[in-house]
Amino acid sequence: MTRRAEIQGSRIGIISIGVNILISVTKKMNNRNLLGVLGCLLVILSILLGCATDRPKDVYRGYPLGLEQPESMLAELDMGAAYEAIIDDMHYVTQAKYGSVRLPAGVHRIKWSVIFGVSVMVDARGYAAYGTISNINLEAGHRYKLLADRTFGSGYQVFFWIEDLTAGKIVYGNKKP
């Protein structure tokens, strides 16, 4: 007998033991109790379905390998509302994996995009992506955040802005009024 068949056989054995236990337990129950047990199982199943947790995201290092710089010379850019960003046409960062980017202080070209859920009347996919290009000067030791918001109804507008969280001011774009 091959290893695979052995594993399958033992799995079947375990399942049949489980089924026999289930049969003997359910035989002792009346129908009302049985429905109660099934209901509980469904509730537990639905709770388990919502158990997925958001794992902590990594920090992307936006400089070439071998050119590491001291932390005090770096600025940190929080991905915030951006779902993806291309920095200096060299680094592609996605929010699915990275929560923030560490960059050398200085001027950077950040091409970033946001996604908003919209009515299917606006876009059949139920979402719409918007992008902008920001040329900003990042200061060492400062933390920045990419932010965006939109208006609703007629005269639809999308606002992009970058906030310097350390200095508490907006360094690019306009905040939604």
Binding positions for another protein, rule: CB under 8 A: 1, 5, 8-9, 12-13, 15-16, 19-20, 23, 26, 31, 35, 38, 42, 45, 62-65, 67, 84, 86, 88-92, 94, 96-97, 133
Beta bridge mates, 72 = none
Q: Distance of alpha carbon 98 from its chain centroid, rounded?
A: 9
Q: How far is the CB of 115 from another protein (least distance, A)?
A: 15
Nearer Cβ to another protein, position 57 or 143? 57
Among the listed residues 57, 146, 72, the one whose alpha carbon sits nearest the alpha carbon of residue 104? 72
Nearest CB to another protein, comparing residues 9 and 141? 9
CA–CA dist 170, 115 (Å, integer): 21
Least separation in angstroms between residue 122's CB and another protein is 17
Q: Is 119 exposed, middle or buried (0-12, 13-18, 19+ CB in 10 A)?
A: exposed
Q: Select 35 or 59, whichever has its Cβ closest to another protein.
A: 35
Beta strand segments in the chain, E: 58-61, 74-78, 84-87, 91-94, 98-104, 106-117, 127-138, 143-150, 158-164, 169-173
Q: Which one, 3 or 169, has the nearer CB to another protein?
A: 3
Smallest gap from Cβ 9 to another protein, in A, equals 5
Report the residue number, 8 or 166, with the smaller CB distance to another protein. 8
**Residues paired with residue 108 on neighbouring β-strands, in sequence order:** 136
Least distance (Å) from another protein to the CB of residue 6? 9
Tokens of 100: 């923030």
CB of 73 to another protein, least distance (A): 16
3-class SS of residue 6: helix
